[in-house]
Structure 1
């Protein structure tokens, strides 16, 4: 973790990674002609290092997804264009570009104020702060926004956070319903990384606009506290306890309105080193899911730091796509 301390500062300076690129067979990146059971999307966070350094921008992202990776469904991340989220001309331009490309805008992953805050005033403010993302998603033609039930600094027992989450989430769902927008939750931070806890939230809200975005890699239920409340602080934390990934995915799939296929590192055969994709997709298939599977490659952040064994953004996206294609 010490090697990650200077990561965000390096990003801010536009540092170029000098790490070793893992040599994998070219066949891992070849475009497949196999008919798939699920549509595949590309999450903007797969190119996070380029957005953090200013080498890439949201307006160009859809064309990159289609022309470079052959993917015509995209998922945005709020932090990469938060300053433009209420800019009508920007949203109009982005929608026009995607329409011209034949690219579908699927969802916006929103990391904003905590709608499960134990303080009611803060919770109510957080809910209303999400309205602008619903509005933007509607302009773009998205089907949903992804939200969090919790935050890096969340306090409270599982029961206390559940009660707060039910109230805040239900209020936001009302706004989503008014705008015909699904509001889905990712197992992302805190108690939401417990599959049973999050599944129970879905049972209790019992709303047609509610749902989850199961993320293969986010089942850490006990993590060291970050020194700073930003991505640098989070990357320097350590997971102390993990929830069973396969059990968690199985518990969440009945409520899934999307899937986030998280990857970090690949072996010589193109398999994710910590996630059995065949096992995961067996669970997904048995659930009857028929939605979109999103590629979310995070290893590019480590590659930029020069950490050994991680692929570049481009290589990682292609390897993830290939792995999904051979797992379904």
Structure 2
């Protein structure tokens, strides 16, 4: 998995628009969307473009336009590291909202990384991390998002870590409630990919503004960030069980994809099994495309994931 902690200035300043042209037969076939039930809502996670953004081949300000015009997606999920220098710039976020509105694109959430550990054993560091997230709550509110996604990282033995996370996440959820912005925990490795552990924290906090963003990948318990891209993790939480346990608290779903076989199926994640779990749960939010593979280009991966979601959703009835 590419390091989410890396921020490259060109991600924000890059002037070259992303091209989605390709001569790949697989890519061309995948670009045809199916006729879908009206209740399937698909969004696009900005992390799907992280290589283009990091190389300066795409301007982060153009995200909503590219999602709509190049992929036919009408809802987006931003990643904070591509806007670090704009974090406190309310004028910028108001312009971003206008750009999205002009495209008739809904802004759903901001994925927030590297703002300190909300489960730090040091109370002062924990409070600092909580306050570091405030600016992204404000940005999300200006954009019209419903949530920010956070990481429930921290240190210490299991019991101490849980106590710290209940405090940190509880404080942040209380602030989010005042601004009408949800705080969502994503499985991102280590204890955050232990769904039962995370759910026990959410239940103990007892704030409806604290929820989850279950990711189809990222269930590795042995490493931070938790990617299961190469099937090399030594300790993996059952991804289907984890998503199922997160769904009652979910405000979104992240459809991770890594690679595809000749039939267009994801090679690690059983999308039929996973999407049936999502559908049977009664979840009625957005399912977000988050392509993270390297075997094909990012545009190809986005199209392939979109086509797979549509195909499977139709097949599971």
* Conserved? CA contact 1:149–1:189, under 8 Å: no
Distance 1:207 1:72 in 2: 30
After superposing the two structures, state which structure 1 stretch, 238-247 or 169-178, moved more: 238-247
Counterpart among 37, 40, 57 of residue 39 in structure 2:
37
Where does 1:275-290 land on structure 2 (aligned, <5 Å)?
275-290=269-284
1:214-271 Cα offsets, whole Å, 9 max, x none, are 0000110012x89xxxxxxx999x6321111111111111111100000010000001
Q: What is the aligned partner in structure 2 of residue 190 from structure 1?
A: 190
Structure 2 residue 82 is the aligned partner of structure 1 residue 97: no
Any idea what SS the aligned residue of 1:106 has? Answer: strand
Q: What is the aligned partner in structure 2 of residue 239 from structure 1?
A: 233
Give the alignment's TM-score, normalised by structure 1. Answer: 0.84
Any idea what SS the aligned residue of 2:95 has? Answer: helix
Structure 2 residue 69 is the aligned partner of structure 1 residue 84: no
Give the alignment's TM-score, normalised by structure 2. Answer: 0.87
* Conserved? CA contact 1:148–1:189, under 8 Å: no
* Conserved? CA contact 2:27–2:304, under 8 Å: no
Where does 1:197-212 land on structure 2 (aligned, <5 Å)?
197-212=197-212
Q: What is the aligned partner in structure 2 of residue 262 from structure 1?
A: 256
Question: How far off its partner does 1:25 sit?
Answer: 6.5
> Please, which runs of 5 or more residues in structure 2 have no aligned partner?
15-22
Question: How far off its partner does 1:192 sit?
Answer: 0.8
Higher relative contact order (CA 8 A, sep 6+): 1
Inter-CA distance 209–11: structure 2 relative to 1 (3 Å threshold) = closer
Distance 2:104 2:67 in 1: 11
RMSD: 2.7
Question: How far off its partner does 1:81 sit?
Answer: 0.5
Structure 2 residue 164 is the aligned partner of structure 1 residue 164: yes
Distance 1:85 1:235 in 2: 30
> Please, which runs of 5 or more residues in structure 1 have no aligned partner?
15-20, 227-233, 303-309
Length, aligned pairs only: 296
Question: How far off its partner does 1:51 sit?
Answer: 0.9
Question: How far off its partner does 1:32 sit?
Answer: 2.2
Question: How far off its partner does 1:27 sit?
Answer: 2.7
